[in-house]
Amino acid sequence: MKHESIETNSGLLIVLTLIVISIGGLVEIVPLYFIDDTIETVKVADKDTIRPYTPLELRGRDIYQREGCYLCHSQMIRPFRDEALRYGHYSLAAESQYDHPFQWGSKRTGPDLARVGGKYSNEWHVQHLREPRSVVPESIMPNYPWLLENKLAYKDIRSRMRALKMVGVPYSETQAEYEANIERFGQEVADMLDVEQAETNLLTQANRANYDGNNSHVTEMDALVAYLQMLGTLVDFTKFDEGYFAQFR
């Protein structure tokens, strides 16, 4: 059959197009019925290392979204050599399992932030957010000086955590849920995921780390830097054999 005869016959073109789309869809969908999970198992010493956000990190993520940071920064490292050389190990599905919505993105006006946590000091992040060109002269990122001035609103943090709990994030409200988190994540993490202790945990983390360099009050800068500093830090890839995560792809 000549290609021209297909292009000039709209009915035949539609049928063949639907057949191709159906085959492509089946290739994508059918394998899902033969695998147990689409999320990687990331455990060290029988504990999950991928955890939900702490109250302070959660507020930082909210501010990250509010300021539109996701419009210029992706959080998804592709499994290609050039990506790995620049950013590190490719992103795991497990690292985004508690994101609602996820921050993968497809546009990189700025660099990918999937593994930015621990790469720079708190002071660097504060200065970069306050006046980007003072640390990256070629940056086109806007200034965000108000983050240092605005006190962090956190009185509704328990409601925010309860909302996420409704979509599957394992924050705890009952003793049974708390004990399940101890079994799953360990005591220290389980304490941070307790909804009833959310405000206390938020203030404790902010005052202990002093992300913005000012302990007089908790600012939006504290929360945003706390969020940035944890990105990509929950998986220690040295604990896993080379190729371990490839089995989940």
| Number of CB atoms found within 10 A of residue 41's CB | 14
State which H helix or E strand residue 43 sits in: strand 43-44
State whether residue 26 is helix, strand or coil.
helix
173 domain-assigned: yes
106 domain-assigned: no
C-beta separation of 248 from 40 below 8 A: yes
On whether both 55 and 20 belong to a single domain, the answer is no
Token pair recorded at residue 209: 């780390």
Q: Which amino acid is at 33?
A: Y
On whether both 50 and 7 belong to a single domain, the answer is no
Q: Which residue has the tokens 């539609």?
A: 14
| Number of CB atoms found within 10 A of residue 183's CB | 12
On whether both 60 and 166 belong to a single domain, the answer is yes
On whether both 11 and 122 belong to a single domain, the answer is no
Q: What is the mean pLDDT of the chain?
A: 94
Q: What is the pLDDT of residues 27-51, one digit of tens each?
A: 989 988 887 777 899 999 999 999 9
Q: What's the structural domain count of the chain?
A: 2
On whether both 120 and 219 belong to a single domain, the answer is yes
83 domain-assigned: no
Token pair recorded at residue 170: 């394992």
Token pair recorded at residue 48: 């999950």
On whether both 62 and 181 belong to a single domain, the answer is yes
Q: Which amino acid is at 2?
A: K
On whether both 120 and 8 belong to a single domain, the answer is no
User: For each of the chain's 249 residues, which pLDDT tens digit applies?
Assistant: 677 888 888 888 899 999 999 999 999 899 888 877 778 999 999 999 999 999 999 999 999 999 999 999 999 999 999 999 999 999 999 999 999 999 998 889 999 999 999 999 999 999 999 999 999 999 999 999 999 999 999 999 999 999 999 999 999 999 999 999 999 999 999 999 999 999 999 999 999 999 999 999 999 999 999 999 999 999 999 999 888 988 887
**What is residue 168's predicted lDDT score, i.e. its pLDDT?**
95
| Ramachandran class of 161: left when φ > 0, alpha when ψ lies in -120 to 50, beta otherwise | alpha
**What is residue 1's predicted lDDT score, i.e. its pLDDT?**
62
On whether both 18 and 137 belong to a single domain, the answer is no
On whether both 28 and 131 belong to a single domain, the answer is no
DSSP code of residue 240: S
Q: What is the largest CA-CA distance in the chain?
A: 78
* Residue-range definition of the domain harbouring residue 23: 3-34
Among the listed residues 178, 173, 177, the one whose alpha carbon sits nearest the alpha carbon of residue 162: 173
For 82, phi then psi, to 5°, come to -65, -35
Token pair recorded at residue 215: 């302990």
Query: How far is 211 from 128, CA to CA, in rounded Å?
Result: 13
- CA Rg, the chain, in Å? 22
DSSP code of residue 4: H
CATH code of the domain in which 169 resides: 1.10.760.10
